[in-house]
Amino acid sequence: MRHTIRKALILMVLLLLIPGILFAFGFTTRLTGVTTHPEFWLGMFPSSVRCFVGIEGLEFMSDRITEMGAEIATGTIARTLSQNPVSGQVISSLSDNTLKRNSYYDVMYASWKMGLAQGLGWSKQAQSDLMTLRFTLDGQWEVAIDPLMQITRTGYPFRNIPAFANAVGGEVLVGTPDLSGNRQLLSLSFDLYGKIKDQVFSVGALSGASMEFKFVWSPKFLNFSKGYGGVADYWKFWFYTDYSKMLYQAKDEKGLNKWSFGFSNAVEMRVLGGEHVPEYAKTLKSPLWWYQPENMTFLARDTLRLNYYGQQFLGNCIPYVYLFLDMSYSGGKLNNSIEWNLDSVWEGSMGLHVELQLFGAFHIYYEIGRIFLYTGDNQAYTPRFTTSALRVTVSLAQIDGVNWSI
């Protein structure tokens, strides 16, 4: 395993350094993302970080952003088992108690995207590209472990679930292929990403439209841990578009937002398949409210929000409230399952989100809502009112340059 990781890291470094040596360019770095863990410091401080390292001075097209380099991420993230590791059956209220009580785990990981991004055209936002295309070779290395801290996320899946305790190298756990063998995964994939953005954004105001798409292919010949650890062999097509409109905005004598009101609508679609679909491949742009979608071939969702921003203070601090209506559909074959079952699941939810945004980085929020429609088998998602505890998340302010984190 160490020898394989060393070869992958050497290859990544060489591919990054050679263009700089040939063209005598310098290097630039920037922080591109942070992720929090719900059990670490109440989610207030990052548990993982992302950083971009690129070559300075590249410009293939006049006045358009060109970036060649790599985004590297590392840290700890929280995950949840959603399928039986042996059969692939969805874990629900009717599942074995051992599976339900030991469904949480943590992952120590390092990942990277290495390639080229190119901007095209002008947008309404000054000095911004209308379209961005990015092609990268992605890498994912993971080690799955029992929860490091246990406050609300309890259990020891890799001690208490027999399928994990008795797993051996070369034997693939159908329901959780990335947790096979010694639960270490090293896999590469090809990633084509594009974004069209024609939006104007400022504190308290968002207006315009954007569209993103992504195609990922991770073939089995780029899986370097097969035979003793986790397995990945999948493909994914992802699409996201949103439109926002400010209906009214009032500013005070200092030019700060006094109050503003508008709406936004987002549509997200994911088509996901392959012989072995790892957990990290299921990622969406934003999670569905209080709901973990089934790992099916097709997923689509539509989210409508009514947005209200209050008085802006201390620069870019502002209170934020929105009402949301979320409708989603999962359908097709259940991935990572020994049974070939076609199914359809509808889900609908509505609620209220209250948030205080501080300095464009800290988000303190509370949510209350109701799942009013669910046609699946998991009784945890039956129609009912649900509230969240007061939560804190951390993000980065708007970043100049290409977004490498999606």
In tens, the pLDDT along 253-295 reads: 888 999 999 999 999 999 999 999 999 999 999 888 888 888 9
**Of all helices (H) and strands (E), which one includes residue 113?**
strand 104-122
Q: Is the dihedral of CA 203, 204, 210, 215 positive or negative?
A: positive
Q: What is the pLDDT of residues 147-204, one digit of tens each?
A: 998 888 899 999 999 999 988 888 999 999 999 999 999 999 999 999 998 877 778 7
Encoded tokens for 19 = 């263009």
Higher pLDDT: 23 or 239? It is 239
Q: Dig out the tokens for 284 from the structure.
A: 């969406």
d(CA 406, CA 404): 6
Rounded CA-CA distance 291/288 in Å is: 5
**Residue 252 CA: distances (Å) to CA of 108, 312, 320:** 47, 9, 17
The two structure tokens encoding residue 117: 């991004």
Residue 1 scores a pLDDT above 60: no
Given this model, what pLDDT does residue 126 score? Answer: 45
pTM of the model: 0.88
Q: 380: pLDDT confidence band, cut at 50, 70 and 90?
A: confident
Domain residue limits, the chain: 2-394
pLDDT, tens digit, for every residue of 7-47?
555 655 555 555 555 455 678 889 888 888 888 877 777 89
**CATH 2.40.160 is right for the domain spanning 2-394:** yes
Residue 386 has φ and ψ, to the nearest 5°, of: -140, 140
How far apart, in Å, are the Cα atoms of 317 and each of 202, 257, 309, 322, 358? 12, 10, 11, 16, 4
**CA–CA gap between residue 114 and residue 6 (Å, rounded):** 17
User: Sorting pLDDT into bands at 50, 70 and 90, what band is 5?
Assistant: low
Question: What confidence score (pLDDT) does residue 17 get?
Answer: 57
- Helix, strand, or coil (residue 16): helix
**pLDDT score recorded for residue 35:** 87
Paired tokens of 241: 């578009």
Q: Which two tokens stand for residue 328?
A: 């989603």
Lookup: tokens for 299: 């997923």
Helices (H), 147-294: 157-160, 162-165
